[in-house]
A and B are shown apart, each in its own frame.
Chain A
Amino acid sequence: MSNGDFSTAPTRRNLFAMIGKIGGAAAMYQAMTSLGHAAETQFEGPPGYSGGRGKVLVLGAGLAGLLAAYELTRAGYDVQVLEYQDRAGGRNYSVRGGDTITEIGGATQNVGFAPGNYLNPGPWRIPHHHRTLLHYCKTLGVELEPFIQNNTNAFVHKTDAFAGKPQRYKELAVDFKGHVAELLGKALNDGALDQKVSAEDKAKLLEAMREWGLLDANMAYSSSVSVSGQRGYDRPPGGGLDGPPTASTVNNLPDVLSSNVWTQMNFYFNYVMQTTMFQPKGGMDMVAAGFMRQIGQKVRLNTRVTSIAQGDGGVTASWTDMATGETGTATADYCVCTIPPPVLSQIDMQVGDPLKAAIRAVPMNGQLKIGLEMRSRFWEDKYSIYGGHSFTDQAISLISYPNNNFFSDGPAVLLGGFASGAGALRLAGMTPEARIEAALEQGAVFHPEEYRREYVNGASVAWSRMPWIMGCTSRWTEQSRAEHYTNLVTMDGRIVLAGEHATYYGGWMEGSMLSALDAIAQVHAKAQAA
């Protein structure tokens, strides 16, 4: 059904902006809260434009470009999309058996995963509050399934803690909580905080520490069946004669501190990392496939943009067909350009100096992911791990277990590494074969008996070496935001930029899509005024 014509009534976004102008940010926030919108998303529903006339050229068929093309088409514009790769989706990407990954420098991987198995090298998890993305998944018929974000039964490994032996997250987290509670209890009972808290709050805090930390009668964190009710038992509860459980032994404070487990605990507190999370069934690129079902005939693949010009008459993009060598031009009244900055800064584009400077001011991070196909789901059978992540301080950063096809037989792909920073660069600099070897070596710390034995094949995507983007997520500083962000996202004549770089929500599909919505709002406003 149509979303109505908003040309006569203010949109929610406009309404909030008006309230914001009159009453300031606090009033706007209050208004948004009363409408149940604050702190969730800036998404106010699909734009629902109508009366679009003329032609819009969209450069790049990632999620920003696809969304722009989809909504502009619905609004009545004549849309054409040019895409460099032989597939749509951009970073919305899944790697499957039969695929080829070719890097800058020429290294080529032929992916050997079994049918149905895949690696999501880019985005792989969707927070419940990414309402734009969730809206389009629903609209486009992209089926979602739960992404197991928090698995307390997975491992935490730190090279110099516990002699390098991984520990179950639940044991470390419960122990950390217990020891902290005991210490705060001691400080309170010693009167160390009497100047800071009232007698009433002190009593409540002592009660809280006893309950929260599972402290014993002496306000100490110690091994017991009760504590094992959270961190796990040596012998779990059973039936009949062998029914009674036996307690596990808590770790001492220095050992727990050496694990840095609070970094994982805190990780799960991040707004973008909180459950519920989702993934598309069958691979993340099902989102792009959903858009392509609607507007696929408007997308020209294998098309390398070589220059972008504009004038009074319109926009012209020159292109070369990567498959045939054919050259041509595409003309339009307006252009939504989603080509990522590292590439765009290398293309001759007729825009003003402020936008040119902004494009040059957004470098990218080079994350890296590795998929390892294993003959069996030993992590489920032997370790009772169903989805979720085991963390390590090695370059691979984690291994993550598949969230689909639980309990099935046959090969499964686990994420053998999700590296960023120095770890990603270290792995990206290796040959694909050496990356797999490093991933097996490092990941085997969690499952030493099975990891190499069950390994079948693997694939890696080193984003810094992907020819079509040369990076994974954009990088801003406070300084570059202040100097360049507004210039980057402001329409320059007939051209407006969109994509992961043109948002404060970098590194997330949600950001790319919000960026696209803002870009097409600028196009539509300009077209309507023309």
Chain B
Amino acid sequence: MMHRILVVEDDPHLGAGVVENLRAEGYEVESVADGRRALEWLAGNACRLVLLDVMLPELDGLTVCRTLRERGDNTPVLFLTARGDPIDRVRGLEAGGDDYLAKPFHLRELLLRVRAILRRWEWYQSASAAEGAVLRFGGNEVEFRAFRARSWNGVGQELTEKEAMILKVLAERPGEIVSREDLLERVWGYDVFPSTRTVDNFILRLRKRFERDPANPRHFLTVWGVGYRFMTEGEPS
């Protein structure tokens, strides 16, 4: 199936170059030149990936991404920007971005990253569909496709895309040790994050959502120095 990608870039030459190359790779591509139009387009249309410039007229890319996430839209976002400092990368990812590419970039790298994000997303979607899409553990219920969950105390939870993907990777291998690097690779791709501590923060968030006592977890267990182990039945306390 042809993937649809939205390119949001205000520089006409760069925008045209990116659009032409993505089309040549077989993607269906739409493009807009400012943040407000991007949000308008995304409100009425669906796509598999948004390539989003950070410095945009009207609304900057970070605000666009944040607004998308607030709307509950989990469409993956790849930021393209002239600012490539680590702090800018972190800002982009905190705004809900999936990856970050600094200008000027190599065409091959752009295409690789686009493919990687689409592959991860496809994996998540297909795996979620194939397994009936509901994970039950310790009184919690997670609907992967809808990014929704109900925790043991009956509270409804809206999962972010990354939380759901981490949970998915862990749930695929119950009882096994999954390293932080594995989680990074499967959920974010290669060199996106400056540190694996980010994974730890997401695990903390999952514990708060699904553990009866987040300080003494029974499902999301830390394996010191390696990574995490997910127990569906719960570790006896």
A and B: bona fide binding partners: no
Q: Which residues of A contact B (CB under 8 A)?
A: none
